[in-house]
Structure 1
Amino acid sequence: MKNVKQIASIGLVALFIGSSFSCEAKPKLKTTIDPETTIIAQAITDDKKPEKNVVKIALLLDTSNSMDGLINQAKAQLWDIVNKFSYVKCGNETRPELQIALYEYGNSSLEAKDGYIRQVINFSGDLDEISEKLFSLTTNGGDEYCGEVINTSIKDLDWGKNPDNLKLIFIAGNEPFNQGKLDYKDATVNAKEKGIVVNTIFCGNYNQGVNSYWQNGAQLTNGEYIAIDHNKRVIHIDTPYDEVIIKLNKKLNTTYVSYGSLGNSKMELQSVQDEKASEMEEAVMVKRAVSKSSRLYNNASWDLVDASKNKNFSVSKIDKKQLPKELQSKSTKEIEDYIKSKKQERVTIQQQIKEANTKREAFITKNQKEGSKGELENAMLSAIVKQAATKNYSWDK
């Protein structure tokens, strides 16, 4: 009977520890002894709160002359990736944050002393700013040094110390992977030491990518090697719900209440990125609108509605000169009521966008031909889902 109780104790402890801390920083443990079973067990102490889990993705894009198609796919499909992550959860049911960094390499307009490499944006969760930086990319002929850009992103970016963070590099290009002074094998060793998975996307023939070391570059960190047709035009399916979502997006924008030194410029950036998406294609604007209705589109640094979700937020702490003119003469209570009404309005609109998008996705699934999705989108999402599973991530949609 005593042995049975010992086994049960071990099982319960293992189950508790395993199920409670998936996708989180490892908790501090304290050794205790069960006087009944004399089995040493480990109980969790509360003296250190686990870090919030973050998905970190660095995109390393070749911007040499031949890569216009790749850049266009990246612009169009940023929102597919964001929308995918809006539904991700850890094994303990928490929702991780998403941060994206962007580098360009292989562009002759960049500095030769820097290896023709430029950090376009550091890790950021500001989706409007990420979109802005993607749309700023232009192509120009140059030398593509894959090992060097991988190593630069590992060295310069803050990847965090939480071992359960999902840390991914996606590097895309079409020249041999072994060019440059820094050996790609050394770069991938550095990545593996930091728990970073390197995924390689060769823009061209599959076997050509294998022969030019792109596959080997991925294999060294257990990443995915994918070959894509970067010049393939993405076929978007028009649906009866597109115009509904676009109209709702315009209403959504009216729920933002700017404040602070960034307020006006950030609100303008939001509008400009809507226009950029619309200029590409109506479907891209629809996907962006869906992203704006998700938990990942958070603008607490300049929007009072998002800022008010913070438990330490207080209207009284804000200089009224940094509020919109129509609010500067209002009392604190009136401003609070205004924010509350905008918050309720936003929740309603976002829910309407989600409901329309559910119908839109069902329509697309029914009418989409095989292989009509974007090449870059397919490559990244398949790798992300596979590698997220190793960290106990899952999707509820």
Structure 2
Amino acid sequence: MKTLYTSFQLLPRLATVLLLMLVTVHCQPVHSENRHGDGPAAETGQKIMLALLLDTSNSMDGLIEQAKSQLWKIVNELAAAKCADGARPSIKIALYEYGNDNLSPDEGYVRQVNGLTDDLDLISEKLFALTTNGGEEYCGKVIQTSLHQLAWSASAADLKLIFIAGNEPFTQGPVSFRQSCARAKEKGVVINTIFCGSFGEGTQTNWQTGATITGGTYMSIEQNQKTVYIPSPYDEKIDALNDRLNNTYVYYGSSGKTKKEAQIAQDKNAESYGQSNKAERAISKSTHAYKNSGWDLVDAAKDDSKAIEKAKAEELPEEMRGMSVEQRKGYIKQKSTERQQIQTEIQELSKKRQEYITAQAKQGSEASMLDAAMIQAIKKQAAAKKLRWQ
């Protein structure tokens, strides 16, 4: 890989794109709806790979609530990133829990909730299913496990991040956090530590040291602080567009109908924190980061030109089962065009909504919370990979 990366640095831009097709990185053109899924489309560009390691012991209920209520805001910030050439980096998120007595002691009270995936509905579903229980919090162990289990890219161009949050000393457990962090550094993975408590206590219990080893960011948050949303006059309009957007998804495959139902379920989970949070999710669904090629025929057809004809009639929505291949193609094209129009409308309203929220927010009123801490660290470390937000 070292030889490949050295060559990558020396090649001109056109050859770079061709070379990158040989490694596991993926980037979307700014205005393109080409999406990575199960089809044969080649992968190009950069990735943002993010693993979130959450302490689910009894005292961490507030942390889990923040993660649930702020997921889509974090996703929207990730989706707004641009590569140096103006393209969009693909986004993969993984989720781990640790420090919970319900977890196996043989595994160090660590569980992979979900591996790196671009299925954001699945991440939301798994996040909302987390519960807390007292336990042993082994930071070194959960970091080590995530490094071993996840399919981290070998490309130095990719932004590879671990965010670990908790409130017990970073030194606990059978695995040295120094060794785990050193291994992360070798793999090009940056460790960012989030201590749930005072900044000084986190420093004294080695949370800052853990971040420093890999050049990451140490932060402290108020884990019991409730997420506060500023309602906007655009939320209701975005909500209505979200309903129309859902109608453009055409399920296929053995699990397609179930995944379609899951999409609606995650809308409801987001709405449980209010219409403003549901609007954040709808905005995520209007970006390249929201991918469903594995069950949505509109997305799948962009990756695989034969996906429409290969779909089994009995695994399609009832209205499509009697269609010929040509009729299917016309139907999917119509849904694709409709989706693009709706996503554009949501994006336009999103800009106005953000301007309104910025104007209404009181300067200095933001609490130290999970989303703000993560977004600040992501943007800082993304600069080294030539990713930008302008």
**C-alpha deviations, 1:76-113, integer Å up to 9, x for none?**
11111111121212213332210000000000111111
Superposition misfits of 4+ residues, deviation over 6 angstroms: none
User: Post-superposition shift, 1:335?
Assistant: 1.1
Contact residue 235 and residue 374 of structure 1 kept, 8 A:
no
Whole-Å Cα distance in 2 between the matches of residues 310 and 50 of structure 1? Answer: 11
What does 1:311-350 correspond to in 2, within 5 Å? 311-350=304-343
Residue 132 of structure 2 corresponds to residue 139 of structure 1? yes
User: Which sections of structure 2, spanning at least 5 residues, go unmatched?
Assistant: 1-8, 24-41
The SS at the match of 1:97 is: strand
The 1-side partners of 2:356 and 2:10 are apart by: 42
For the residue of structure 2 that corresponds to 1:103, the secondary structure is strand
In the alignment, structure 1 residue 274 sits paired with structure 2 residue 262: no
User: Following superposition of structure 1 onto structure 2, how do residues 33-48 of structure 1 map, counting pairs within 5 Å?
Assistant: none
Q: Following TM superposition, by how much is the alpha carbon of 1:51 offset from its aligned partner in structure 2, in angstroms? A: 5.2
Alpha-carbon deviation of 1:245? 0.6
Q: CA deviation at 1:371?
A: 3.3
Match 1:118 to one of 86, 111, 114: 111
Q: Show the counterpart of 1:390.
A: 384
2 CA distance for matches of 1:323 and 1:232?
A: 45
Q: How far did residue 311 of structure 1 move?
A: 4.7
Q: Distance in 2 between matches of 1:246 and 1:374?
A: 28
Q: 1:380 matched to which residue of 2?
A: 374
Check 1:352–1:132 CA distance in 2 against 1; reply closer, same or farther (3 A cut).
Answer: same
CA contact (8 A) 1:52 1:96 kept: yes
- The one-letter code matched in structure 2 to 1:170 is F
Q: CA deviation at 1:20?
A: 7.7
The offset of 1:17, in angstroms, is 3.9
The TM-score normalised by the length of structure 1 is 0.87
Residue 164 of structure 2 aligns to a residue whose secondary structure is strand
- Pairwise CA distance, 1:16: 7.0
Identity %: 47
Provide the aligned length of Structure 1 versus Structure 2.
Answer: 363
Q: Look up the SS of the partner of 1:252 in the other structure.
A: helix
Residue among 41, 62, 72 paired with 1:69? 62
Larger mean CA deviation between 138-147 and 52-61 belongs to 52-61
How far off is 1:315 after superposition? 2.2
Match for residue 155 of structure 1? 148
Superposed, 1:170-209 pairs within 5 Å as 170-209=163-202
Ranges in structure 1 where 5+ consecutive residues have no aligned partner: 1-13, 29-48
Give the match's secondary structure for 1:60: strand
Superimposed CA distance per residue, residues 162-200 of structure 1 (whole angstroms, 9 cap, x where no aligned partner):
121111000000000000111100111110110010000
Are the equivalent residues in 2 in contact too, given 1:209–1:227 (CA < 8 A)?
Answer: yes
1:21–1:92 contact (8 Å) kept in structure 2: no
**Could you tell me whether the CA contact under 8 Å between 1:167 and 1:196 is conserved in 2?**
yes
Could you give the per-residue CA deviations for residues 341-383 of structure 1, whole angstroms, max 9, x where no partner exists? 1111111111111111111111000001223366111110010
Deviation at 1:312, TM superposition (A): 3.2
Residue 355 of structure 1 aligns with an amino acid whose one-letter code is: E
Equivalent residues in 2 for 1:347-362 (5 A)?
A: 347-362=340-355
Q: d(CA) in 2 for partners of 1:76 and 1:318?
A: 36
**Does the residue aligned with 1:309 lie in a helix, a strand or coil?**
helix
CA contact (8 A) 2:297 2:307 kept: no
Q: Equivalents in 2 of 1:19, 1:395: separation in Å?
A: 24
Higher RCO (C-alpha 8 Å, min separation 6): 2
**Residue 303 (str. 1) matches residue 276 (str. 2):** no
Q: CA deviation at 1:25?
A: 5.0
CA distance in 1, matches of 2:355, 2:43: 38
C-alpha RMSD of the superposition: 2.2
1:391 CA displacement: 0.8
Q: Distance in 2 between matches of 1:181 and 1:300?
A: 41
Where does residue 5 of structure 1 map in the other structure?
none
Secondary structure of 1:308's partner? helix
**Per the alignment, do residues 128 and 180 of structure 1 end up closer, same or farther by CA in structure 2, a change over 3 Å counting?**
same
Kept after mapping to 1: 8 A contact 2:221/2:368 = no
Tell me how far 1:324 sits from its aligned partner.
1.3
CA distance in 2, matches of 1:69, 1:210: 21
The C-alpha deviation readout for 1:9-50, integer Å capped at 9, x for no partner, is xxxxx997489859x85999xxxxxxxxxxxxxxxxxxxx98
CA 1:156–1:16 in 2, change beyond 3 Å: closer, same or farther? closer
